[in-house]
Structure 1
């Protein structure tokens, strides 16, 4: 059980000591992953950034990801799933257009015009406050690789048992707790108050300055 996201981040950082001062970037998944990532970045003396991703949901089943979009026009598509789901070019295009607009809006709000940190040749440590299905984390891993990351590590305080790095398209998975009776991420926190956009912006600004 974690007190709050800051507590979770400090405990997670203890499992990532090998990356202290390494050629790595800590990437928080907005919004709840950013307070956790901020503690990790502080403890490991690494730069902090966000990784803004949006799943491309199959039109008939939006919860099923057929790919992901990230900032900078990065796109990862599971073409086998697109074919199996019989998603045509026009349908795919509409989903891409909608999610691309959401990514652009979120990037503008969170970054405030600041450029993203360069991932080329670096270790990308993707941090969330917990993983349930893993689809968003997997999308972030795909985007991080497309942005040039040499190695992708997914780090989270809590996840269901049986989750693997391979299942997330990551090179490594670091998790503090994997409860046998896992039901929801929030159940592992005493305080799981939603993180606001303002808090995310403040944490990013503090890390850059």
Structure 2
């Protein structure tokens, strides 16, 4: 399955989430917001962001050794750290830098407004795909710490092994495709443009106003 864009993927996910009861939708920015916007519209649910940041391996920052989500503690891939001869303390400077960027994005996307109240609510966490799952895992643990009634992770596509590992982090995992030849999230979208902060704000504003949002942000 290849999706036309994130908006189409969100529409298809929304069909699988129709049984949700008065949920709160939390999207992982940036790409997850474009997937979550049509879900929130179809479910008539509030949409907000849950900001996460990857903790990169210093010599090769694209290699994630962990992640941190707002309101949560860093979550590390301890086996990978061990293989690299490192410890969480070895990346303390990276964690601090990512916390600063996380705080900047929270301020940019939400201002002084806090996260929605999650205790006792059904929460749907949305991203545009699962590769290693580091940021999704950090997000789910931060959400679970708020004592929601139910947590669902919803993604259009993901690595089979990563999706399987997420079933221990959420009450339910809804995924449309788990291709055995998964290499990267973007390969499963015809259009996979990078979004910036203004794109995220446009999608959130449109969701708040009850609009569809600009098509080019999909």
The question of a shared fold, defined as TM-score above 0.5 by the shorter chain, is answered with yes
Q: Distance in 2 between matches of 1:102 and 1:192?
A: 23
1:175–1:208 Cα change, 3 Å: same
Partners of 2:68 and 2:135 within 8 A in 1: no
SS at match of 1:164: helix
Q: Which residue of 1 aligns with 2:135?
A: 136
Q: Does 2:14 match 1:2?
A: no
Provide the alpha-carbon RMSD of the alignment.
2.7
TM-score (norm 2): 0.80
Deviation at 1:187, TM superposition (A): 1.6
Q: Which residue of 1 aligns with 2:25?
A: 26
1:190–1:57 Cα change, 3 Å: closer
Q: Which residue of 1 aligns with 2:198?
A: 198
Q: Distance in 2 between matches of 1:135 and 1:70?
A: 10
Structure 2 residue runs without a partner (length 5+): 210-218
Structure 1 residue runs without a partner (length 5+): none
Aligned length: 204
Partners of 1:9 and 1:36 within 8 A in 2: yes
Q: Distance in 1 between matches of 2:88 and 2:193?
A: 40
Deviation at 1:60, TM superposition (A): 7.3
Q: Which residue of 2 aligns with 1:14?
A: 15
Partners of 2:137 and 2:166 within 8 A in 1: no
Partners of 1:49 and 1:204 within 8 A in 2: yes
Partners of 1:135 and 1:168 within 8 A in 2: no
Structure 1 runs of 4+ with >6 Å offset: 79-83
Q: Which moved more, 1:53-62 or 1:80-89?
A: 80-89
Provide, for residues 84-120 of structure 1, a one-character-per-residue CA deviation record: whole Å limited to 9, x for no partner: 666375x465344222211111111111333221111
TM-score (norm 1): 0.83
Q: Which residue of 2 aligns with 1:75?
A: 73
Q: For residues 180-191 of structure 1, what are the structure 2 equivalents within 5 Å? A: 180-191=180-191
SS at match of 1:18: coil
Q: For residues 95-174 of structure 1, what are the structure 2 equivalents within 5 Å? A: 95-162=94-161, 163-164=163-164, 166=166, 169-174=169-174
Q: Distance in 2 between matches of 1:71 and 1:180?
A: 32
